[in-house]
Amino acid sequence: MKRLVVVLIILAGIVGICVYSLYRIDETRARLHVYGELLFAAVEQEDSQAAQTAAESLANYWQEEQQWMIIFFRHVEVDSISSGVARLTAFADAEEYSDLDAELRAILWQIDHIWRSEQIRIRSIL
């Protein structure tokens, strides 16, 4: 009976960690999209100051979130997002709006890809 309880506790811990990581990636994805919308608006208006501020805000947020994402997820996209975020501020400073837009779209696609690939499905369990 003790083995069953230990197994159930371990299983509950694993499920809890999985649910927590899915919650965090969904929250991170949603916040990156919010920052992205601010940056898209600045790019659309070609407002250099707003673009720089939005890019820096996104970069600061990503620096905090990247640390825990590396713990839970082993994706090439995490590294790719990090390098893309670093390029965002450079594009905003240089007022390269087309490159800024393309890079931001790539970052948002990659965070969406991580979220989709981590969702629990029958295919991923088997």
Q: How many helices (H) and strands (E) does the chain have?
A: 5, 0
CATH classification of the domain holding 87? 1.20.120
Mean pLDDT over the full length of the chain: 88
d(CA 99, CA 9): 50
Which of these, 73, 56, 57, lies nearest to 111 by C-alpha position?
A: 73
For residue 104, being part of any structural domain is answered with: yes
pLDDT of residue 25 exceeding 60, the answer is yes
pLDDT 10s digits, 40-77: 999 999 888 999 999 999 999 999 998 888 887 766 77
5 found inside a domain: no
- pLDDT score recorded for residue 76: 78
What is the domain extent for residue 91? 29-125
Closest C-alpha among 82, 103, 112, 94 to residue 39:
103
Residue 46 gets the label, from left (phi > 0), alpha (psi -120 to 50) or beta, of left
- For residue 120, tell me if it sits in a domain: yes
- 20 in any annotated domain: no
> Model-level pTM?
0.83
Q: Is residue 56 part of a domain?
A: yes
Number of domains in the chain: 1
